[in-house]
């Protein structure tokens, strides 16, 4: 298999630190996704196999379709178990920061995280990392943090330790962050890593089924409603906007995670290169941006909508009424796409 192209500065120092059993805390970002939880649990299983004591802390709850993952019951949610999480951080020997690269991505967890005295190690693939950790494994070329956790295990010369539990978790991170191996980040190496993980006996259809075939009837009807009544398409410029009001959310009894994936759907339309989902919240509008190829939605989100992310997938927000936000998108996005 191709060797990892990433490296860790002062890897020897990190190896020395992990040479004896340590108390390790693994943290991930707010509103965790498949990669956040998959990479965190995958790393946790690996470190436990190496004899370390691990605690995984997520800032808040994540979708039920991720709860099947091995080790899920041990994840501590900071917003529900603050004292336990704070104690773990305080007494940690090493803290991992997975799938985020700025302290504000963990919301209220940022304070105890930054107050903790233990050295910190970042593993992440988002753009423009802030330097708040002692060690770092970072590249925006990686498909997922789960891929980088595999790289980390390889850099530690431990790939032979990978077992079913680690494989299931890391596979989930790669599967979800690559949009089921569709995104441009799906390199030959991603497939090689995936093949290696599959050799641990993964039932990949079963994993796909547990994650993606979990829609409620109301979610399906809500998607239909959005495509019929809430989607604006500018075929000439090649973009689409779906707007979802609070009223819509109430009408379809939307649960957390029910809008997941909706923003990608307009890209299925022939000629549509960029897509926006605008979801009305109390006092602001939450925005998701998706694009194909070289269209850089990270820069667009940063420039106009207080956000950022990846080139082809970014987020943002605007404190304004929904109709004003839609107007602003229609005003700024065509110019941006045509420039």
Give the binding range for Mn ion (CB under 5 A) out of 33-41, 132-140, 256-264, 275-283: 33-41
Of the pair 130, 203, the CB lying nearest Mn ion is at 130
Give the binding range for Mn ion (CB under 5 A) out of 173-181, 195-203, 227-235, 272-280: 173-181
How far apart are the C-alpha atoms of 278 and 289, rounded to whole Å?
Answer: 9
* Closest CB 190 distance from Mn ion, rounded Å: 13
Residues 276-295, interacting with Mn ion (CB under 5 A): none
Of the pair 144, 312, the CB lying nearest Mn ion is at 144
Residues 130-149, interacting with Mn ion (CB under 5 A): 144-145
* Closest CB 310 distance from Mn ion, rounded Å: 9
Select from 86, 99, 296, 318 the one that contacts Mn ion (CB under 5 A). Answer: 99
What is the rounded end-to-end Cα distance, in angstroms, of the chain? 41
Q: Please report how many Cα atoms fall inside a 13 Å half-sphere around the Cα of residue 124, on the Cβ side.
A: 28
Of the pair 33, 258, the CB lying nearest Mn ion is at 33
Alpha helices in 178-245 (DSSP H): 188-198, 204-212, 217-229
Of the pair 207, 326, the CB lying nearest Mn ion is at 207
* Closest CB 39 distance from Mn ion, rounded Å: 7
* Closest CB 57 distance from Mn ion, rounded Å: 17
Q: Which residue has the tokens 């436990």?
A: 48
- Which letter does DSSP use for residue 314 in this model? E
Contact 50, 158 (CB under 8 A): yes
How far apart are the C-alpha atoms of 324 and 334, rounded to whole Å?
Answer: 16
Residues 34-53, interacting with Mn ion (CB under 5 A): 35
Of the pair 28, 265, the CB lying nearest Mn ion is at 28
Contact 169, 146 (CB under 8 A): yes
Contact 71, 96 (CB under 8 A): no
* Closest CB 252 distance from Mn ion, rounded Å: 28
How far apart are the C-alpha atoms of 286 and 289, rounded to whole Å?
Answer: 10
Of the pair 98, 272, the CB lying nearest Mn ion is at 98
* Closest CB 125 distance from Mn ion, rounded Å: 6
Of the pair 34, 238, the CB lying nearest Mn ion is at 34
Give the residue nearest to Mn ion (CB): 35
Buried b (16+ CB within 10 A) or exposed e, 270-284: eebbbbbbbbbeeeb
Q: Which two tokens stand for residue 66?
A: 């991720």
Nearest of 51, 55, 45, 17 to residue 134 by alpha carbon: 17
Q: Which residue has the tokens 């269209």?
A: 295
Select from 86, 147, 177, 280 the one that contacts Mn ion (CB under 5 A). Answer: 177
* Closest CB 22 distance from Mn ion, rounded Å: 25
* Closest CB 144 distance from Mn ion, rounded Å: 5
Alpha helices in the chain (DSSP H): 11-17, 34-49, 82-90, 110-115, 145-155, 164-177, 188-198, 204-212, 217-229, 246-251, 297-304, 322-338
Query: How many residues of this chain interact with Mn ion, rule: CB under 5 A?
Result: 5
Of the pair 146, 325, the CB lying nearest Mn ion is at 146
Residues 295-334, interacting with Mn ion (CB under 5 A): none
Residues lying near Mn ion in the complex (CB under 5 A): 35, 99, 144-145, 177
């Amino acid at each position: 298999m191709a060797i990892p192209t990433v490296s860790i500065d002062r890897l020897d120092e990190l190896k020395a630190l992990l040479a004896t059993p340590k108390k390790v805390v693994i943290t991930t970002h707010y509103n965790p996704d498949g990669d956040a939880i998959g990479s965190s649990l995958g790393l946790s299983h690996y470190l436990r196999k190496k004899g370390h004591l691990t605690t995984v802390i997520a800032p808040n709850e994540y979708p039920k379709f991720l709860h099947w993952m091995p080790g899920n019951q041990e994840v501590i949610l900071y917003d529900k178990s603050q004292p336990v999480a704070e104690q773990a951080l305080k007494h940690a020997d090493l803290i991992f920061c997975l799938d985020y690269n700025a302290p504000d991505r963990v919301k209220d967890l940022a304070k105890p995280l930054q107050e903790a005295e233990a050295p910190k190690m970042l593993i992440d693939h988002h753009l423009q990392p802030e330097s708040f950790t002692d060690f770092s494994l970072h590249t925006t070329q990686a498909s997922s943090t789960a891929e980088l956790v595999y790289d980390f295990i390889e850099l530690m010369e431990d790939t032979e330790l990978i077992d079913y539990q680690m494989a299931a978790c890391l596979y989930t991170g790669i599967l979800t962050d690559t949009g089921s191996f569709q995104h441009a980040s799906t390199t030959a190496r991603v497939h090689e890593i995936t093949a290696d993980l599959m050799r641990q006996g993964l039932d990949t259809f079963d994993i796909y089924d547990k994650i993606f075939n979990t829609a409620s009837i109301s979610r399906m009807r809500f998607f239909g409603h959005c495509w019929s009544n809430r989607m604006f398409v500018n075929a000439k410029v090649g973009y689409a906007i779906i707007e979802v009001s609070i009223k819509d959310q109430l009408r379809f009894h939307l649960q957390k995670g029910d809008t997941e994936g909706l923003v990608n759907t307009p890209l299925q339309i022939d000629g549509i290169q960029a897509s926006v989902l605008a979801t009305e919240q109390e006092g602001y509008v939450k925005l998701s941006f998706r694009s194909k190829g070289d269209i850089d939605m990270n820069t667009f989100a940063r420039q106009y909508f207080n956000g950022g992310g990846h080139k082809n997938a970014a987020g943002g927000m605007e404190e304004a009424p929904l109709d004003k936000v839609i107007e602003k998108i229609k005003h700024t996005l065509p110019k941006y796409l045509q420039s």
